[in-house]
Amino acid sequence: MSSPPVHSAEDATPADTEHGRVIFENICSHCHHISFKDSAVGAPGLLDVMDRHDEAWVFTWLQSPAEFAKTDETAKALVESNPYGLTMPTIPEMQEAQNRRDVIAYLKTLKSK
């Protein structure tokens, strides 16, 4: 049995910002605002989020926040900072790398002036 092929970032389909926006509006916006303020459930505002975290970090976070927090101090601190003890759930749509790339492309557009 052979191993699955290894894909580099260059092999990936280019990120689709519009698809990322649709995912954000349908899933992420239930908890996150496009502002600097935390939401009612303590989810951080995502304005300028890509200035706070690098792309590789966000890519890993989106796949499984709770798992990532077990090995990454920044992720752990973010989880522990929620005033209600809530952790962002693992979202089925975020298990697809392309969806994560698309959401990140959209998050890059969320800039303050």
Q: pLDDT-derived band of residue 5, with 50, 70 and 90 as boundaries?
A: very low
**Predicted TM-score (pTM) of this structure:** 0.85
Q: What are phi and psi of 6, to 5 degrees?
A: -90, 130
Across the range 18-26, mean pLDDT stands at 98
Whether 113 is in a domain gets the answer no
Angle between helices 73-80 and 55-63 (to 10 degrees): 60
The enclosing domain of 68 has a CATH number of: 1.10.760.10
Structural domain for 48, as ranges: 15-107
Q: For residue 43, is it within any domain? A: yes
